[in-house]
Amino acid sequence: MFKSVFKYTLFLMLMMLMPYGLSAQKKQLSQAKDYIKSGKNLDKAESLIRSLLADSAQKDNLKAWQMLVETLKTQYEQGNEKMYLKQKYDTLSFFVTTRKLFEAAESADSVDAKPDDSGHVKTKYRERNSQYLKTIMPNIFYGGLYFINKKDYETAYKYFNHYISLPALPLYKGLKLKADDDMRISAAYWTMYCGFKLDSAEMILKYDELAERDTSQLAFVWQYKAEAYSLKHDMPRYVGLLQEGFDKYPKFPFFFPRLMEYFDDTNQLDSALALADRAIAIDSTSHFYRYAKSSVLLNMGRYDECLDICKQLIDENGKLADAYYNAGLAYFNMAVELDKNRQTSRQMRQKTLKYYREALPYLEKYREMAPDRKDNWLSPLYTIYLNLNMGKKFDEIDKIRYEYKRNNK
């Protein structure tokens, strides 16, 4: 008996509350509608509608969703008019409103496209909304560019990703949008750029095939792809892309130095030398390519060949600090190799000192040009001053060496 009374009481309470709930909802929508008609307080209208839709019982309220679309549409048009008339307006708000309008229309369409009780789908607002949004779609793309200029790469990526996805969304099915038009190809490139800036391999690679259709940016596309596989720690793919990138774009500054670095790190000096020779064959005037070759020759112990290149570089441009360094190190290494043999003759000792003396002006010049690179010049100059009995210079560099060691423990 008690249970039946309780159920009856609960039923009465629900019946009493239901009209109040419906009345409150109607009041919210009515107030929002008044705001929309007046063209004022649109932010309040948006807030009212969103609070209604946040109620799980109202999440499929198509009328409310369409009112949200209309609210944002009015906000968009007011902002667009101000920008057209060159009146003061917040550009950030314009692009944010643009994307919110698209998102609201797409959410409304997902409700609009739900089948009725008989299983049929008959959309009420799809054509109206899609036709309107078609005219302003480029502003999603331009919003991405706006956020790139602001260096907000995460938000920019969302805009470009949204723009690329539009042709696949049901709302725009009747528009027959091209999934690979020029602007979407450009958007794909910018998603790679954003991913590169954010160190996200997933972002870089999501639309890489579409981005490759932008022939004006292909060198950068290959760079970003290589960076993606470096982030994934996939060295075979990374190196393969560096090699393909160099083959396709040998003068592009990204691929050559990283390939040289890889060959140096893995002690593939023959491959490094072959790469340097290929680069020089493409541009024999490049100081960078020839300096790179001198470094490989230095590491291979082919000091005379290294010196020939360095001296040519110095004759052509006396401001190339690294050319002085490689030349000095070539002479220095030749001296050290002779000095290793403690049973050497007096004649060989003199030859050793001769190499130290020849290394000296190059390394001192390098020190003058790169005073902060103590890690490069400190040790060899210390050894040279010691072997040549250069008292004052040795005392000076011994103090520098002591301070350097103390500060780098």
Q: What is the pLDDT along the chain (409 residues), one digit of tens a residue?
A: 444 555 555 555 545 544 544 556 777 777 777 777 776 778 888 888 898 898 888 899 999 999 999 999 999 999 988 888 888 888 999 999 999 999 999 999 999 999 887 888 899 999 999 999 999 999 999 999 999 999 999 999 999 999 999 999 999 999 999 999 999 999 999 999 999 999 999 999 999 999 999 999 999 999 999 999 999 999 999 999 999 999 999 999 999 999 999 999 999 999 999 999 999 999 999 999 999 999 999 999 999 999 999 999 999 999 999 999 999 999 999 999 988 876 667 888 899 999 999 999 999 999 999 999 999 999 999 999 999 999 999 999 999 999 999 888 7
CA–CA separation, 8 vs 176, rounded Å?
A: 56
What is the model's pLDDT at position 342? 63
Amino acid at 277: D
Residue pair 303/274 in contact (Cβ under 8 Å)? The answer is no
Which tokens belong to 354?
Answer: 């001769």
CA atoms within 13 A on the CB side of 335: 22
Residue pair 42/75 in contact (Cβ under 8 Å)? The answer is yes
Q: Which of 272, 270, 271 is closest to 291 using CA atoms?
A: 272
344: left (phi over 0), alpha (psi -120 to 50) or beta: beta
CA–CA separation, 187 vs 192, rounded Å?
A: 9
Quote the DSSP letter at residue 168: G
pTM score above 0.95: no
Concatenating the DSSP letter of every residue in 182-224 gives HHHHHHHHHHHHHHHHTT-HHHHHHTHHHHTT-GGGHHHHHHH
Residue 316: CB partners within 8 Å, gap ≥ 6? 287
CA–CA separation, 150 vs 155, rounded Å?
A: 10
